[in-house]
Amino acid sequence: MLIRSIRINDAEKFLNMLKKLDRETKNMMFQPGERKTTVKDMKKKIEESLKSDSLILVAEKETEIIGYISIKRGFAERIKHSGYVVIGVLKNYWGKGIGSKLLVYGEKWARENKITRLELTVMTHNIKAIELYEKIGFKKEGVKIKSLIIDGEYIDEYYMSKIF
């Protein structure tokens, strides 16, 4: 398995992996079929990310993208020291240390780029993800009540951060 920066020519494979994540788990933002991004749109998003102060890394096994981490740096001067983390790994690869590796690589990048706060949200019932984040050093800061609606039910999320 290889962890590397995303490339523009990854657009179709990356988009397909995101759509597969949407179908495999209810722990991500989009419902199955809700993501309307085209390959052209994804190429543009990747290009913008590569030109910005943000990061997208992919985990690749052979030629398949199996996971990713993105860290979007704060846009204004007062929050440029922070980065918002989104991470996803395909279900077949859960429990194999890929999420941990992505987070370690992401933190290394953050430190190199003078980011001193990483933050994320996670559904309060997503115990495996919470355990992973806490193992890496994230701490709960609060609860975002009724943050999402999944299958007609309100779902709370934890705000979590890692400060260094």
Could you tell me the end-to-end alpha-carbon distance of the chain, in angstroms, rounded to an integer?
28
pLDDT of residue 72: 97
Question: Which pLDDT belongs to residue 164?
Answer: 94
CATH of 2-121, one of 3.30.70.380, 3.30.300.30, 3.30.230.20, 3.40.630.30: 3.40.630.30
Residue 95: the pLDDT is: 93
**pLDDT, position 32:** 94
Q: What is the pLDDT of residue 84?
A: 98
What's the token pair of residue 158? 């934890």
Distance CA 45, CA 13 (A): 14
The pLDDT of residue 148 is: 97
pLDDT tens-digit map of 49-92:
999 999 999 999 999 999 999 999 999 999 999 999 999 999 99
Running DSSP on this structure, what letter comes out for residue 116?
-
Alpha carbon distance 78, 146 (integer Å): 28
Distance (Å, whole) CA 20 – CA 151: 19
Residues of the chain with pLDDT under 70: none
Provide CB contacts within 8 A for 41, sequence distance 6+.
none
Q: Which residues contact 45 (CB under 8 A, 6 or more apart)?
A: 37
- 124 C-beta neighbours (distance < 10 Å), count: 16
Pairing state of beta strands 82-89 and 117-123? Answer: parallel
